[in-house]
Amino acid sequence: MSVEIVVSSNTIAYEKEFRQLNEAWISANFWLEESDIKLLSDPQKYILDKGGNVFIALLDGKPVGTCALIVHDNITCELGKMAVDPKAQSHGIGFLLGSALLEKARQRNFIRVVLEGNTKMEASIALYRKLGFKEVALPEFEQPTDFHKRCNIFMEYSINPYAQPEYYI
């Protein structure tokens, strides 16, 4: 078994698979919200053109997982749109994707990485905790309307816990 992580920065690779993996995961567990449809319809515009990255996990050359680094501002990015094909789960692909995203966030000098989740998805929450994310209250730097309705947990990974965010604004 060979896993490779492909990172798109300027032009999205595997756009069709990015959409299919996410739509399948969301639809199997929740419902597609308007913001999902918008972002998945044009990840170039809503992720890459805004400075983000798309990560695709290839298992023996076949796309089986994905996530996105979504830029919020100059200190905060989001781990979003993580999905792994059910047939490829339990091989550590989610951990590899999350680790690659955290490394990219570190390289890009973000201070924190945030994510939205749902406690119903116990395996996902366990993965995020294994990656080092901690549950936090609703972030003050966001408006509640910016979040997905299906989300009931917010988590944060501090890349530099000693940084003073007010100096970066």
How would residue 22 be classed by pLDDT, with cut points 50, 70 and 90? Answer: very high
Integer-rounded Cα Rg, in Å, for the chain is: 15
Dist CA 52 CA 72 (whole Å) = 9
Higher per-residue pLDDT: 169 or 33: 33
What is the number of alpha carbons within 13 Å of residue 23 lying toward its C-beta?
A: 12
Quote the pLDDT of residue 164: 61
Domain count, the chain: 1
DSSP H helical segments within the chain, as ranges? 15-29, 34-41, 43-46, 93-107, 122-131
Q: Is the pLDDT of residue 127 over 80?
A: yes
Tell me the pLDDT of the chain averaged across its residues.
88
Strand bridging mode 3-8 / 153-158: unpaired
Q: State the burial class of residue 162 (Cβ atoms within 10 Å of its Cβ: 0-12, 13-18, 19+).
A: exposed
Q: Which residues contact 134 (CB under 8 A, 6 or more apart)?
A: 155, 156, 157, 158
**pLDDT classification of 2: cutoffs 50, 70, 90:** confident
Report pLDDT for 145: 45
Residue 163 has pLDDT above 50, yes or no: yes
Task: Give the CATH number for residue 98.
Answer: 3.40.630.30
DSSP strand pairing (112-117 vs 76-84): parallel
149-161 per-position pLDDT tens digit: 677 899 999 997 6
pLDDT of residue 57: 94
- What is the extent of the structural domain holding 17? 3-168
pLDDT classification of 66: cutoffs 50, 70, 90: very high
